[in-house]
Amino acid sequence: MDALLVVNAGSSSVKFQIFGFEGSGALQRLVKGQVDGIGGKPRLHASAHDGTGLIDRSYEPHDIADVPSALAVVGDWLRHTQKFTLIAVGHRVVHGGPHYDRPVVVDQNILTELERLCPLAPLHQPSNLASIRTLLARRPELPQVACFDTAFHRSHDALADHFAMPESYYHEGVRRYGFHGLSYEYIADRLRALAPELARGRVIVAHLGSGASMCAMKDGRSVESTMGFTALDGLPMGTRPGQIDPGVLLYLLTEKGMTPKAIEDFLYHDCGLKGLSGVSNDMRELESSRTPGATLAIDYFVYRIALNAGLLAAALNGLDGFVFTAGIGENSATIRARVAEKLGWLGASFDPAANAAGEFRISRPDSRIALLMVPTDEELMIARHTLSLLGRA
């Protein structure tokens, strides 16, 4: 069977999936796996489409010290245990900058252009591109497709994407991009199937996970997003602060004597839920904790989601629906309930029983806006784009 490999590479983990497809172009998920603990306590685990475990193996730190070695281990395991013909690889690439508004087949020239964007997404972009670079060297004949988290938001009006700075900076690419676009694109597509009337309306989608953002969509297109020039803006996240006064950064530079690199590390690794709580960046741990810091972090997370819902509803001139998705949005009934309660002024009427059961619709029949929980699937979106770009869909 012909198959696609989908890779989502981070600094300490590489997520991968294998999708098979027949002549009709219908995709079938065959394998789902991850290498985590890269450089520390590496572990490869994977399962089949039905959840059956295929491998769960730990390695020495020197065996999987970086993304290239993780890909080598995954490739070796796939070659020796799985029966398929790999015809292409699709990659999640966080930042496409001002030039890439759709997926592209990557060559060395495009890779070089994308590497220039690494300072705008230092937590993600270098690892995303390391996986592409590794496969270009090992399998140069294999088509590789980059799918960008920024592309879905390129439908924004220029007014929404500007900062109040001289126009020359905008033309240099200093603008609001928005991220998590592959997730939002998938949700927009699912809404067309599950709630077509709502899909044509005004919807806020809350992608709530370790990375978190919200997107205002009208007729399935992005109108506004909480994230901007980088993936630091907007909502508080696991280790990132979200919206912050630029004066705070000047204070860290001038009064605390921090270097730009130290500030970058601080903003990407030591803020957000982790910084507020002093406990963890994991919402599951915070919800089980009784410490004042954990309570503060959760309260702040919910408050900022509700605050940004008002901002996005204003961008849409009203609201017809609110969708929860991603790790926290899909799995924390408590967070969904607390956010929904704060959306009452927009006309939301919440159904606690449906929420506790994890149902698709968690609003009451008389609610003026629909409250939904829709699981996202960025990897399937990448596979679809890859197949389409190769002319096989």
Within 10 A of 164 (CB to CB), how many other CB atoms are there?
4
Task: Of 221, 34, 6, give the one whose Cα is nearest residue 103.
Answer: 6
How far apart (Å, rounded) are the C-alpha atoms in residues 30 and 4?
Answer: 10
Give the SS3 label for residue 375: coil
Catalytic, 189? Answer: no
* Per-residue CA distances from 197 to 185, 203, 215, 220 (Å): 17, 11, 18, 11
The answer to whether 319 and 356 have CB atoms below 8 angstroms apart is no
Catalytic residue among 149, 161, 233, 377: 149
CA 88 to chain centre: 22
The pairs formed by 227-231 with CB atoms below 8 angstroms and a separation of 24 or more are: 227/176, 227/177, 227/178, 227/179, 227/180, 228/163, 228/176, 228/177, 228/178, 229/120, 229/163, 229/174, 229/175, 229/176, 229/177, 230/120, 230/121, 231/94, 231/121, 231/123, 231/124, 231/179
Residue 173, Cβ density class (10 Å: 0-12 exposed, 13-18 middle, ≥19 buried)? middle
How far apart (Å, rounded) are the C-alpha atoms in residues 22 and 3?
Answer: 9
Give the SS3 label for residue 240: coil
First to last CA, the chain: 15
How far apart (Å, rounded) are the C-alpha atoms in residues 329 and 373?
Answer: 7
Give the SS3 label for residue 204: strand
**What stretches of 121-256 adopt beta strand conformation (E)?**
144-148, 202-208, 212-218, 221-225
Residue 346 structure tokens: 């927009």
Point out the residues that are catalytic. 149
